[in-house]
Amino acid sequence: MPGRNGLSAEQDVLLPKALVDLDRRLAQRFSKQTGVPDLLPETDVDLGALSQKTVERSAEAAPKRRSDMTAQRAMLTNTFAGRTELELLHALAISYLRRDTPHTKKAWTIFRRIWAEQSSFMIEAINARWLVSALQTFHDHSDDCRERIAGVAGFLYGNLIKVYETEYSARQRRRDPEIRHFKNRSVPGLSGFTPGDDILININVIVLEAAKDGGLASRPLLALLEIIAASNTIFQRTDALGEIAPFSDHPTFTLSFRGRVK
């Protein structure tokens, strides 16, 4: 019978050797935890009231064992000190949903209520990091295939940008960028990539498509797209290459959010 990863025992045997350790990690994504206290409010909690209540910093020292839910809540309390109780509850629900505990159903009910009833507040309140976490949660737990697609699109989109920007920042500290690294107007990789081609806008189009038909996951994914469109990331820096030779000679240079400009 297929497992959570959708592969049967026979199919597992066919996995390439390079993916065996990755598959083992997949099977351990949701670590089972018993005896976990229920620190969540009742599922009918007044979310509007929580959006108006400010989190106070805990007087206790920050705990180190995040595997313990009480310690995790204390850490989140300090993280969201000065923010709202609704943001804290959202993060706490996600923390429960990252674990296999007896409280998964309750946490999922609260998480869905937040996005069904308070999505306008949430997209104004939380940053890209928590938008991506919310989208990952939709992928992990929703029974709605639209929400799962929007969730995984947002998870991959946001985190791959984060990974790239981290590497780019580290490389910038070691040396100035050199345009001559683009050999033959193409960047090494899977068949190469020439700035000005339509790869970047096609990525954004597919993410937008997932967002427009994403159920409750639509709002956080649209918010993430809006943040990326307004930020200085790989998309904007690649677009800027359209003004630099040899890329300026591209007959139909395509911008990552606006399309062709020539």
pLDDT tens digits for 68-120?
899 999 999 999 999 999 999 999 999 999 999 999 999 999 999 999 999 99
What's the pLDDT at 3?
39
- Give the confidence band of 176 by pLDDT, cuts at 50, 70, 90: low
pLDDT at 191 exceeding the cut of 80: no
Asked which of 113-127, 219-233, 236-250 is least confident by mean pLDDT, the reply is 236-250
> Given CA atoms 96, 113, 215, 8 in this order, what sign does their dihedral have?
positive
250/137 Cα distance (integer angstroms)? 41
Cite the beta strand spans of the chain per DSSP E: 254-255, 259-260
Is the pLDDT at 124 greater than 60? The verdict is yes
- pLDDT of residue 194 exceeding 90, the answer is no
For the cut 70, the answer to whether the pLDDT of residue 233 exceeds it is: yes
- Reduce the DSSP state of residue 193 to 3 states and report it: strand
Q: What is the pLDDT of residue 181?
A: 47
Characterize the bridge pairing of strands 254-255 and 259-260.
antiparallel
Task: Answer yes or no: is pLDDT of 184 > 50.
Answer: no
In this prediction, residue 10 has a pLDDT band, given cuts at 50, 70 and 90, of: very low
**Of all residues in the chain, what percent carry a pLDDT higher than 70?**
84
| pLDDT of the residue at 2 | 39
